[in-house]
Each structure stands twice: as C-alpha cells, then as structure tokens.
Structure 1
C-alpha cells in the first residue's frame, strides 16, 4: 500500500489541491494528515472539509498546534501574527468543522509506524525536532521503526543505527529511498501549505509499506492565488508573500 503523507496544510487550498491530485496520480491507497490543517492561509473551512472527507474514506488525521490554538481561547503562546490568524480562522469555521478539530488525536500508531505532528516524546507539547539531538530523543521515545512528523516546515530525514548513532539526510525530490529494517527512521515531509526552505513548491511524501520505499515530492502550485487570498482576507501580507519565496 502506498501512503501519502501531508502535513502543515495551513489552510492553503491551492497547495493541498495540487498535492492531493499528484498523490492520486501516484495511486496512493491511504492518506495521513499530520496536523496544522489551519493557520496562516485563507481557506481553513475548505481544507478541514477536504480532510474530513478523506477521513471518512479511511485516512488518518492528527491535531497540530495551530489546530489546537482554535480550542484554547486567547492563544497567548503564539506570536501576534499567528494569533491574528487563529482568531480570524475561528470566526470563519462552522461548528462541525471546529468539532472535527477537537476530536483529532495527538498520535496514531499502525503496525511499526508512528504518526505525530511534533515529536514522539511529548506530542502535545509542540516541541520542535530541530536537529540530530531532538531526532534521537524522538526515536528513543517510541518502539516504532519509522516515525512521521510534521511541525518542521523543511523536508528532512533522520536515521539511527543499531548502535544508536543518528545521522541526518537531506532528501532529493522524486528519488526513492529504501528504509531498511536495520535502522530506525524519522521522516519530516516538509510543509504542504507553507514551505520554509527557500523553495515555494509544496511538500509531501509517500511511503510504500511493501517495498519500504520513501519518496519526497515538491509540487508547484498557484502560490500567487493563495497569496492574493490571504491579503484580500485582511491577514498579514507577509503570510502571503512568503508563499512566493518559500521563506
């Protein structure tokens, strides 16, 4: 089975549409959405409805920190721009959309795979995996052979040997990577809705459960349309402009 992994969708309808269409062309049999369905972008309702539809068809979905922010009132832990978007998003959601967010789990385990938004050691704390040290901590916190994480908006792959030595690998898009069973793996697909590695193309990844092959993808989309929607909605213009640069 081919699993398509999308994370940090951030209410970006154009990017999500492009990634889902590409995954369908690759004949993905299941989808995993690793959280942050909302925040930053101007189409939160559409993105939530789309993920709800996929979940009804058997997809997995997690809660992210921006999703949780909708449920937490004043959002004091966020910066002012992110807090503004949370307040705006909350005002633009239907009750059933908010209810869906409130029921999302922090983690999902399936066979020898773990799906989380932030990390495996404390997924509800939203701490980042910024490098080898945090990746090692996360892999030590689970028995899963492969952990799939969001939260970090740059595609990265970490691997840990049987002796506990952890390495970091920057994946090349559309290059199949065999995840052999002699190592533990931590996969960060990068953000679908707001990439931050200097490349504006949307990110997502696929994993073949039979061959154990992982493939990262960069998908061009109409970032200018997504940018215009953000500005027209009255959200901070920087949130739109960064979609054009990927920074």
Structure 2
C-alpha cells in the first residue's frame, strides 16, 4: 500500500492542492495527515474541509500544536508573532471545524508504522525532534520499526541500529530509499504549507508499506499566489515572505 504522508499544511490551499495532485499521480492509496492544518496561511477553512474529506475516505489525521492552540492557547508557549494569525484563524472557523479538530488524536498506528505530529516519546508536550538525540528517544519508545513525525518543517530521515548506533541524513527529492528491517527509522516529511529549508517547494513523503520504499518529494506550487492571499487577508507580511523564501 502506498501511503502519502503530509504534515504542516498550515492553511496553504495552493500547496495542498499541488501536493494532493502529485500524490494522486504517484499512486497514493491512503493518506496520513500529521497535523498543523491551520494558522499562518489564509485558507484554514478550505484546508480543514480537505482534511475532513480525506478522513471520510479512510485517511488517518492527527492533531498538531497549532490545531490544539485553537481551543487551548494557554497551554502553548507560542511567540507573539503567532498570536495575530491565531486570532484571525479562530474567527474563520465554524464550531463544526473546531469540534473536528478537538476530535483528532495525537498518535496513531498502522501496521508497522507509528505516527505523531511532534514526537512519539511525549506527543502532548510538542517537543521538537531537532537532532539525533531526540529522534532516538522516539524510535526507542515505539514498538514499530517505522515512525513518522512532522512539526520540524524540514525533511529528514533518522535511523537506529540494533546495537544502538544512530544516523541521519537529508533526503534527495524523488530518490527512493529502501528502509532496511535491520534498523528502526524515523522520517520527517517536511511541511506542505510552509517549508523552512530555503526551498519554497512543498514537501511530502510516500511510503510503500509492501516494499518498505520511502520517497521524499518536493512539489513546486504557486507560492506567490499563496503569499498574496496572506497579504489580502491582512495577516502579517512576514508570513507571506516565508513562503517566498522557504524559510
């Protein structure tokens, strides 16, 4: 089964549409959505409707920290730069959208795979997998050999041997990687809606559960249009510039 793994859509309709078209062309059979559907971008309603449609079709959808902050702002240590977009986002959402967000789990499992937005060792605390040490913590607590997390906005792949030796590398766009069953793996697919590695192209990953082949993809999209949508909505200018710079 080919799993399309999408994370951090961040209310970016243009990026989400481009990634979904690409994943469909790649033969996606099921979708996993790792959270952060809202905030930063100008189309939270459209993106949440997209996520709900995928769930109706059998997708797995998890809650991210920005999603959780829609109702539980006080439990998140987000900077002042996030507050304006969060307030605006809340004003756009219906009670049904908020209820859908509240219903989402923090973690999920499917066959040999384990999923979370931030990490697997403390998913409700939203800590970043910002290095090998944190990635190893999540790989060690999982009962599954293949883990997938979002939150970092930059694609990365970690591995851990049976002897405890760990490693990491930055994947190459479109290059398949066979995940050896002799190791544990943790993949971060990067962000659909707000990449931060200097490349504005949207990120996602495709995992073939039969062949254990993982492919990271970059999908160019009309980021200028997405940036203009942010400006037209009256959201902070730096959020539009992030899409242009990919940072």
Which residue of structure 1 aligns with residue 18 of structure 2? 18
Q: 2:4 is matched with which residue? A: 4
Cα RMSD over matched residues? 0.9
1:112 to 1:223, Cα distance in 2 relative to 1, 3 A: same
Structure 2, gaps ≥5 residues long: none
The CA deviation at 1:74 is 5.0
Q: Is the 8 A contact 1:11 1:42 kept in 2?
A: yes
Whether the aligned pair in 1 keeps the contact of 2:69 and 2:76 (CA below 8 Å) is no
Shift of 1:110: 1.2
The reply on whether 1:147 has 2:156 as its aligned counterpart is no
Alignment of 1:198-213 (within 5 A): 198-213=198-213
2:32 alignment partner in structure 1:
32
Distance 1:48 1:76 in 2: 21
Contact residue 75 and residue 83 of structure 1 kept, 8 A:
no
Please give the secondary structure, in 2, of the residue aligned with 1:124: helix
Aligned-pair CA distance for 1:66: 0.2
Give the superposition deviation at 1:86.
Answer: 1.1
| Cα deviations by residue, 1:80-107 (Å, 9 ceiling, x for unpaired) | 1212111111110011111100000000
Deviation at 1:169, TM superposition (A): 1.1
Distance 1:54 1:76 in 2: 27
The answer to whether 1:119 aligns with 2:114 is: no
User: What count of residue pairs does the alignment treat as equivalent?
Assistant: 247
Change in CA separation of 1:68 and 1:76 when aligned onto 2, cut-off 3 Å: closer
Distance 2:243 2:108 in 1: 30
Question: Shift of residue 142 of structure 1?
Answer: 1.1
TM alignment of 1:26-65, pairs within 5 A:
26-65=26-65
Give the TM-score, by structure 2 length.
0.98
Unpaired runs of at least 5, structure 1? none
In structure 1, the partner of 2:169 is 169
Matched position secondary structure for 2:125: coil
Deviation at 1:180, TM superposition (A): 1.1
> 1: distance between equivalents of 2:227 and 2:80?
19
